[in-house]
Structure 1
Amino acid sequence: MARNLIGIDLGGTTTKMAFISVDGEILTKWSIPTDTSDDGKHIVPNIIKSVSAHITSSEFSKADFLGIGMGVPGPIDIENGIVLFAVNLGWKQRQQVRDQIQEALGLPFVLDNDANVASLGEYWKGAGEKDEDVVFVTLGTGVGGGVIAGGRLLHGVNGGAGELGHVTVQPNGYLCNCGKRGCLEQYASATGVVHVAADMAKDFLGTSRLKEMEDNQENVTSKMVFYLADNGDILANQVVDRVTFYLGLALANVANILNPANIIIGGGVSNAGNTLLQPTTRYFQENAFPAVRDSTKLRLAQLGNDAGVIGAASLALRFQKTN
């Protein structure tokens, strides 16, 4: 009997893939560069080729797999297996992804938004394990999110549920790629942290390595901002304070509506660990309704880069159980 799944995490620069057991253990994993040239038309053929080659060269056969799940950075028509568009991949038009992959590989295929998929990964095998109500927020180049309520991933009426990155935290604030202003994504993503640092440096009059770097137009990254804050840089600490205020406020608003057991913070920015988590928790508690504040916990994600492939595999497993 087929006891394994295939998980695919399609990103703008890298596509991660894995063979995963039905218990959520990674059996083997690999990645290929995502070729976004020619409007992304090579992406799906490259995935098909790579999965085929790995099945052939492994001890597994196609019969050992129940199905394939994939996370994609863009809005999805889940019912028809279509990616509506994905700017990072060069996909400006609708992409009939499911039919292409299903026909080529002969296995059931299901896809969802990458942030939803990462949240399923943490829910299944990571920081959200054992809880039926979990919110996941991922702080990377942008800010994504996923909401699991009563053990079910919420999509909303048009697939827009869990868009935590577009909670407004600063009315009339920075202009977001989505067209509105003041979105969390513009403050708490890796690029947002850099933007806040550049703005705050203009008005800062004290002594600071971060201020020197900004004045000399050195390359400032969010990782560097958190590192400097950790090492006592006054301006860097002020930047982290502002960023975590916005993040704590947004997460409190989400928790006041959903009251999940855990809000899990993942993505590259979460590598700052307690330097991010402690002040965010403080601002969260200041802004959360008392009953929510006392029951919802903020936690750091545990699966790192594996959340996407594990979550994608769990998509395939869920699909099998409901069909």
Structure 2
Amino acid sequence: MNKEYALGLDVGGTHITAAVIDINEMKVLDFSVHKESFDSNLPVAEVMAIWEKAIRTSWKDSGIEKLEGLAVCMPGPFDYESGTCWIKGQAKYEHFYSLNIRELIQERLHFSDDLPILFDNDANCFGKGEFFKNAENSSKRVMAVTLGTGLGASFIDNGKAIDSGTQVPTDGELYNLPFKEGMAEDYVSARGLLSRYEAVSGIKISNGLELFNRANDGDVLAIKVFEEVGADLAEIVLPWLRSFEADSFIIGGKIANASVYFLPAFQQKIKEAGSEVTILVSTDNEISALLGATSLLCEI
């Protein structure tokens, strides 16, 4: 297949971002980036109308006539090979349970069955995208995590996600690893941040942004909670940094915006453990996700 341009989609519970990517250069065409915000619990037809608008607007603005495929960064639970959505009870895409997203896109956009429409999870897309964003990563092993409503992870070797073998956890996932009195995601996620803060302050807040604002305002308990999450993240990832022999560790996700509060504690733990891994915080999660998703088309 003569690969030239593809359309990448970064899909979340409240947004969709579309962009056309030059596959040969693995670069986003800047003027093609289009984002729509919406409630993913709307009826399927209404959500798909918003997706269609994002896709058509991005494609039109790119000036590109022919697409070699679509690549979609999609949250789970999801069957990424078949394109079937299994999200349920997560306050997003409630009407999409058991539906085939590939077929919905094909029908809505009148795409041929021959046009590849591929899917991958957000953590893998982020990790692969960070790999492709930095040419220096071409000979490196990259471990990446996304910190947000959950704890995502990816292990990237030469641009490909590794999710099996003794060097990575089962399915390449960190979120469900046993940790303290529960699992890793109970402590390192937005949920973990908010529950910690409520435990130490007696105050229940609704989201991570509010906690970040409290830290910015000098709330010592909010700052302490972020520091604890940084230390816990280090404890969770250290065994896998060693076994995967990672050269770089990259942090993304919405909570990465609060790195000023959790990164020092994380770095200190990593240093104390004797690791010399390069630690980076992503500056553009969405672009990484779009590039990472599009890299799927290079693998077929």
Q: Same fold (TM over 0.5)?
A: yes
Deviation (angstroms), 1:56: 4.6
Are 1:110 and 2:118 an aligned pair?
A: yes
Give the superposition deviation at 1:120: 1.4
Once the 2 structures are TM-superposed, how far is the Cα of residue 227 of structure 1 from its aligned partner?
Answer: 5.6
Aligned position for 1:175 = none
CA distance in 2, matches of 1:47, 1:234: 42
Amino acid of the residue matched to residue 40 of structure 2? T
SS at match of 1:299: strand
Task: Show the 5 A alignment for 1:174-253.
Answer: 182-202=182-202, 214=203, 219=205, 221-223=207-209, 225-226=211-212, 229=215, 233-253=219-239
Tell which deviates more after alignment, 123-132 or 187-196: 123-132
Q: Distance in 2 between matches of 1:311 and 1:245?
A: 28
Consecutive unaligned residues in structure 2, runs of 5 or more: none
Structure 1 position 123 matched with structure 2 position 131? yes
Partner of 1:89: 93
* Cα separation, 2, equivalents of 1:263 and 1:128: 14
* TM-score scaled by length of structure 1: 0.77
Q: Tell me the equivalent position of 1:7.
A: 8
- Cα distance change of structure 1 residues 131 and 167 upon mapping to structure 2, 3 Å threshold: farther
Letter in 2 for 1:300: V
Q: Report the equivalent of 2:261.
A: 275
Q: Which moved more, 1:26-35 or 1:132-141?
A: 26-35
Match runs of 1:258-269 below 5 Å? 258-269=244-255
The letter for the 2-side match of 1:78 is Y
Structure number with greater Rg is 1
Q: Which residue of 2 aligns with 1:313?
A: 294
Deviations, residues 185-208 of structure 1 (Å, cap 9, x unaligned): 222222321211111225xxxxxx
Identity %: 26
Q: State the alpha-carbon separation in 1 of the partners of residues 257 and 119 from structure 2.
A: 27
Q: Which amino acid aligns with 1:13?
A: T
Give the Cα separation in 2 of the matches to 1:114 and 1:10. 9
Cα distance change, pair 101–284 in 1 and its aligned pair in 2 (3 A): same
What amino acid is aligned across from residue 175 of structure 2 in structure 1?
A: G
Match of 1:300 among 278, 281, 284: 281
Q: CA deviation at 1:108?
A: 1.4
Aligned length: 287
Looking at structure 1, the residues matched to 53 and 230 of structure 2 have their Cα atoms a distance apart, in angstroms, of 43
Deviation (angstroms), 1:148: 1.2
Tell me what 1:137 maps to: 145
Uncovered stretches (5+) of structure 1, i.e. residues with no partner: 172-181, 203-213
**C-alpha distance in 2 between matches for 1:73 and 1:84:** 10
CA offsets 1:203-226 (integer angstroms, 9 cap, x no match)? xxxxxxxxxxx3xx6x47544545
Contact 1:147 1:161 in 2 (8 A): no
Q: How far off is 1:123 after superposition?
A: 1.4
Using the alignment, how far apart are the partners of 1:96 and 1:224 within structure 2?
36
Distance 1:29 1:45 in 2: 18
Instruction: Select between 220-229 and 257-266 the one with higher mean Cα deviation.
Output: 220-229
Shift of 1:78: 3.3
Distance 1:53 1:305 in 2: 17
Cα deviation for residue 303 of structure 1 reads 2.2
CA apart distance, 1:254: 2.0
**Any conservation in 2 of the 1:110–1:315 contact (CA below 8 Å)?**
yes
Q: Structure 2-normalised TM-score?
A: 0.82
Distance 1:72 1:188, change over 3 A: same
| Cα distance in 1, alignment partners of residues 53 and 72 from structure 2 | 15
